Chain A
Amino acid sequence: GAVVSQHPSWVICKSGTSVKIECRSLDFQATTMFWYRQFPKQSLMLMATSNEGSKATYEQGVEKDKFLINHASLTLSTLTVTSAHPEDSSFYICSARDPRSSVGYTFGSGTRLTVV
């Protein structure tokens, strides 16, 4: 089945630094990947849609200069949290759908970001 690999699983960083999170589709090509953020005990909220070879589409209220997305290949999308602050601490999850499959969207394992 479709597998999405996300790294790292967790990261602790200092305020003001940047953190990069990688999302890879391992056995399929994904022209589109989705980045979600989930605060404790809340639902998954879409942050942005990553499009291979073009600019990402950001949801309202998400700062594109703070959450940089790069989708340089059909199997890799990266999310960089720049100048991280404690309020950016959250669970970040990427998702993609294998176009060959009738199965739903596959999620990466998520990245727990803690900014101290």
Chain B
Amino acid sequence: QQPVQSPQAVILREGEDAVINCSSSKALYSVHWYRQKHGEAPVFLMILLKGGEQKGHDKISASFNEKKQQSSLYLTASQLSYSGTYFCGTGGGSQGNLIFGKGTKLSVKP
């Protein structure tokens, strides 16, 4: 079951904040976040494995609400380099693979 991401797209000015949500109709055991720039492969951002877990790197952080079967990615004081499409991936594929949401396109303008 493909996780649902929202919003589909967001446009920000440099320095603004954004939140991207990822929810699933199935129980979540892990959530992976990736960023993909146009024409490039996805780049791993972070993985959340435990309900209630929160982690971050630089000004990007994420939380995992196991009970609500959702995760959120927080981008604070956005930089131009944050532009790209963000995908959440959930475990549980029949082959141990990740199942990706449709992506959220983030555009940061000067």
Contact B32 A46 (CB under 8 A): no
Contact B41 A109 (CB under 8 A): yes
Q: In the complex, what residues of A have CB within 8 A of residue B98's CB?
A: 34, 95, 104-105
Contact B47 A44 (CB under 8 A): no
Interface of B (DSSP majority class): loop
- Number of B interface residues at 8 Å Cβ cutoff, please give it: 23
Q: Is B44 positioned at the interface, with any CB of A under 8 Å from its CB?
A: yes
Contact A43 B95 (CB under 8 A): no
Chain B residue at smallest Cβ distance from A94: B41
Q: In the complex, what residues of A have CB within 8 A of residue B101's CB?
A: 43
Q: Is A49 positioned at the interface, with any CB of B under 8 Å from its CB?
A: yes
B22-80, CB < 8 A from A? 32, 34, 39-44, 46-47
Chain B residue at smallest Cβ distance from A110: B41
Known: A102-B47, A103-B47, A105-B32. A46 touches B41 (CB 8 A): no
Q: Can you spell out 24 A-B residue pairs with CB atoms less than 8 angstroms apart?
A: A6-B41, A32-B95, A32-B96, A42-B102, A42-B103, A43-B100, A43-B101, A43-B103, A44-B87, A45-B100, A46-B97, A49-B96, A49-B97, A57-B95, A95-B98, A103-B44, A104-B34, A104-B98, A105-B32, A106-B44, A107-B34, A107-B43, A110-B40, A112-B39
